[in-house]
Each structure stands twice: as structure tokens, then as C-alpha cells.
Amino acid sequence: MPRQPSPFELLILDCDGVVVDSEPITTRVLAEMLNELGVPVAAEDVARKFVGHTFAHTLDLVAELLKEPLPRDFAPNYRDRTFATLETELRPVPGIAAALDLITIPYCIASNGPHAKMRKTLGITSLLSRFEGRLFSSGDVPRGKPFPDLFLFAAHYFAVRPAACLVVEDSASGVAAALAAGMSVFGYSGGVDDDQLLAAGAHKVFGHMSELPALVANVQ
């Protein structure tokens, strides 16, 4: 495909589920840990309930499910088990590297996850060098997604107007954040759950990263 000009000036990518295929792994570990605490919940339910939230909010939701405060070592254990599993199982989202090679506008990542997690997952998948100096975390701003702060922070860093930014998200919470920031937002569904992203207000939903360069160039 030839390189194309774009009406957008900045592409902001969510990390988990859009650049690295981490969601199935992290939701599986969380489901396993909840099961061990006696909460009978399946990985799919965990995904529906927790994807796209900050870790702190996820912990609150877990405590609600448990109907009592979390064990003190729950958060560090979850981090350790998640990192160990990611180390051996994590893959890039299919087609993301090839898609980025064809995109001519600046791009960055804005994630509700901490910098340490982004650096870990992007390192494992050999994508980190593409995003050095272009990583933004909810820890950098007062409020994570679904609030607009993180996307506005990234746009400001690149001195790009929100209206000229295109966000790619795989969660309703991220779509809401992009809309609140006044940005265009496309949902990446990985071929599943288009409806949830459209219902959240995504301007378009796509199922494979090979479609992204043309979407960024606004030729469809």
C-alpha cells in the first residue's frame, strides 16, 4: 500500500488490547485469583467488568465482588503473577507493527496502566523502540480514562488540537474518554464485540490492524 496523507495530525493508541494482546492474559490471571478467593467468576466476565479501568478502580471492583476488603498481598501478587505470565505468553496485537510502518503521522500510546507495565509489555513484544518518549500513563494526569485528561495531555505534548487527534481504543471507557476530549475515536474490536464499542460512541469499529493505515488516511 502506498503511503497516504492524513486529515489527522496525531494518532493516539491505547496499549492493552490495541498494541499488545495482554487483555486475555491479565483477565485470566485475575479470574484465577478471584476463584482462589472463593469468587466463582469466569475470565469472560472479568473482561466485561474490568477492561479499560485503572488498576485502583479494578481493585475496588474486586473488593465489591468479594464483599470484604482485599487481602493485603492481593495487588502485589496480581502484579507478580501477571508479569510472569506476560513474559512467556504475550504477543503483539496481530498486524500492529506492519500497520505502524505505513502510518506517516506521529503516533503515541496513552494507557490507564502504569509506565512500568507499558515498558514491560512493549519490551516483551519488541515494540518499545517505536514508542520511546511517546508513552503517556494515567499516572501522569489527575484522572485516568474515562475522563479526557490523559488524551488531552498527550495532544498538548505534541501541540496538536484535540479535533485533529484520532484515538484507537478497545474499551468503552477509552471511547468515552476520547469523546470527552473532543477527538475522533475508532474502536478496535479484534473481530468481536463491535456493538459495545459502537454503543459507547466509537465513530467506526474495525476488526484487523491491516485496516488501520487506510482509516488513518481517511480513505474508506
Q: Which residues bind Mg ion (CB under 5 A)?
A: 14, 16-17, 170-171
Using H for helix, E for strand and C for coil, what is the string for 115-156?
Answer: HHHHHHHHHHCCCHHHHCCCEEEHHHCCCCCCCCHHHHHHHH
Distance CA 105, CA 118 (A): 22
Task: Kindly tell me which of 200 and 217 has the beta carbon lying closer to Mg ion.
Answer: 200
Task: Kindly tell me which of 15 and 217 has the beta carbon lying closer to Mg ion.
Answer: 15
Q: Which residues contact 41 (CB under 8 A, 6 or more apart)?
A: 31, 34, 35, 65
**Could you tell me the smallest distance in angstroms from the CB atom of residue 14 to Mg ion?**
4
Which residues lie across from 16 on neighbouring strands? 20
CA 29 to chain centre: 17
Task: Kindly tell me which of 21 and 103 has the beta carbon lying closer to Mg ion.
Answer: 21
Phi-psi group of 52: left, alpha or beta (phi > 0 → left; psi -120 to 50 → alpha; rest → beta): left
**Could you tell me the smallest distance in angstroms from the CB atom of residue 188 to Mg ion?**
9
For residues 87 and 124, the answer to whether their CB atoms sit within 8 Å is yes
**Could you tell me the smallest distance in angstroms from the CB atom of residue 173 to Mg ion?**
8
Residue 181: all three cell numbers together: 476530549
Task: Kindly tell me which of 17 and 213 has the beta carbon lying closer to Mg ion.
Answer: 17
Distance CA 216, CA 4 (A): 9
Task: Kindly tell me which of 138 and 171 has the beta carbon lying closer to Mg ion.
Answer: 171
Q: Which residue minimizes CB distance to Mg ion? A: 17
**Could you tell me the smallest distance in angstroms from the CB atom of residue 113 to Mg ion?**
9
**Edge-to-edge strand order for the sheet containing 10-13?**
135-137, 107-111, 10-13, 165-169, 184-188, 204-206
**Could you tell me the smallest distance in angstroms from the CB atom of residue 182 to Mg ion?**
20
Task: Kindly tell me which of 155 and 170 has the beta carbon lying closer to Mg ion.
Answer: 170
